[in-house]
Amino acid sequence: MEPALASSLGRIGELGVGLLLDLGLDQGMDLGLNHWLEFAPIATLDPGLDPSLTLSGLGQLLQSENGVLRIALLLFPFALLVELPLTLVMLLGVLRWKVRELSLPPKQSLYRPRVSCLITCYGEGAALQRCLLSLCEQTYPGEIELIPVLDGAAANPRSLAALRGFAVTPEIYPKRRLRPLLKWQRGGRVSSLNAGLAMSTGTIILALDGDTSFDNTMVAAVVRHFEDPDVPAVAGCLRVRNSWESLATAIQAIEYLISIQMAKIGLAEWNLVNNISGAFGAFRRSILVQIGGWDTHSAEDLDLTLRIKSYFGRHRHLRIPFEPRAIGHTDGPTSFRGLLKQRLRWDGDLLFLYGYKHAASISPRQMGWPNFIMTVVSGLFVQLVLPFMILGSSAAILLLLPWRAALALGALVYAVYLLWVLLNFIAMLILVSDRPLEDLRLLPVLVVFPLTMFGLRCWSAVAILNELLRRSHEDSAMAPWWVLNRANRF
């Protein structure tokens, strides 16, 4: 098998170099391919070609019927067969949303229920006051109940001092009520959310992180969706607040703009929102009570989303909107080490949730056909299977191809994905961005964005193996070990 694999990869490398030559990227240089790379005849890729041809067969392949498509299928099969269809679904949804936004007047709603904000706090310190102040300053005319739940208050003097130093003045902030809840012993994020839910009195529940601040129109933008009784939850929009603190945060800012702000707008048009962010999600209180609140283990946001979606197959009128005007600002990890540590937890939890806890509920009967297909493709395949394919093929190219062929093929793949990201970024700026001039400053960072996403995709395989071999969700920093050990095992 190894000689056959090496031969196939060699032919792919030849095609990559040939495409670079055809594009004029290496004109005038004699690479001497036949001197340092031995190929099986390129005709094995296409039986209609002359078996004696090697690099010159590329010209025939390009000139043949559907030649470009056939080369693309050789070099980018998963991009064409999986990522491109998903991107088109998303972009069509964005265009549909944009047409409606431009053609219809803004909806006015008189629905003003009491809103309870459950704010999970642990080590935020002074940033907690910024979160509370942004909620007090909401333009929403109804009542807002602020319930900051400080986990492990005895061990968090800075957060405790910030909470005690914040007061809501009724004359300045009418209809705003602060009801802090101190948990002296640490119990984890899920226990904080459930404790806040039991204490809350609002019809609409917002689950928020203590280090996240919000635009002052957030609550009003979210609540209007719940006037429709078929809406059990609303996904909010997140932006990276510290986007210029480091290169790592700038890359995360681009990722959030494309994969959250733009992607969820498009997916919501087809009722296919994949996740309600744990840092910012809105729920109807009745649905939280019905499903038993939040459950243990670390990825409580995706877990809750999948449990809500398990009703979609039986109640096909239910939908989860995404509200792009409800914007929260959160801090991303400032170093690549911190980013890898974060994704080790996030991506490992995907295997636990998709492969164990919710394996039985991922079915058309439970989720309905549209969400079932989207979950299988974007969840099971793209997030759990594709990282191993990318890591394996990359390792084979590096180990089995001559370095010049590997470099040429890598350059071609990088160029294609850079163009892909650039087109998505431009579409985001034109169609979606609420701060286009600010977001435009991120354009130079796109040069390294494909490389970072490639690294994170490979790291996903490590995270999945970590969960598979060590059950890493059971030693998460999101909750102490004595809480996780008492949880249900899957």
Q: Determine the pLDDT at residue 71.
A: 62
The average pLDDT across 29-49 equals 36
Q: Determine the pLDDT at residue 61.
A: 57
Query: What end-to-end distance do the CA atoms of the chain give, in Å?
Result: 37
**Predicted confidence band at 11 (pLDDT cuts at 50, 70, 90)?**
very low
C-alpha distances (whole Å) from 452 to each of 254, 343, 459 are 11, 13, 10
Does pLDDT of 198 surpass 80? yes
Q: Determine the pLDDT at residue 74.
A: 65
Mean pLDDT of the chain: 84
**Predicted confidence band at 419 (pLDDT cuts at 50, 70, 90)?**
very high
Cα 414 to chain center, whole Å? 21
**Predicted confidence band at 404 (pLDDT cuts at 50, 70, 90)?**
confident
Which is more confident, 484 or 325?
Answer: 325
Helix/strand/coil for 229 = coil
> What angle separates helix 386-400 from helix 449-470, to the nearest 10 degrees?
110
Per the CB < 8 A criterion, the answer to whether 30 and 421 are in contact is no
**Structure tokens, 275:** 């996740």
Q: How far apart are CA 405 and CA 401, in angstroms?
A: 6
Does pLDDT of 4 surpass 60? no
Q: How far apart are CA 77 and CA 102, in angstroms?
A: 37
State which H helix or E strand residue 153 sits in.
none
Query: Nearest 5 degrees, angle CA 361-CA 380-CA 260?
Result: 100
Residue written as token pair 């191993």: 388
Where does residue 53 rank: exposed (0-12), middle (13-18), buried (19+ CB within 10 A)?
A: middle
Q: How far apart are CA 96 and CA 270, in angstroms?
A: 10
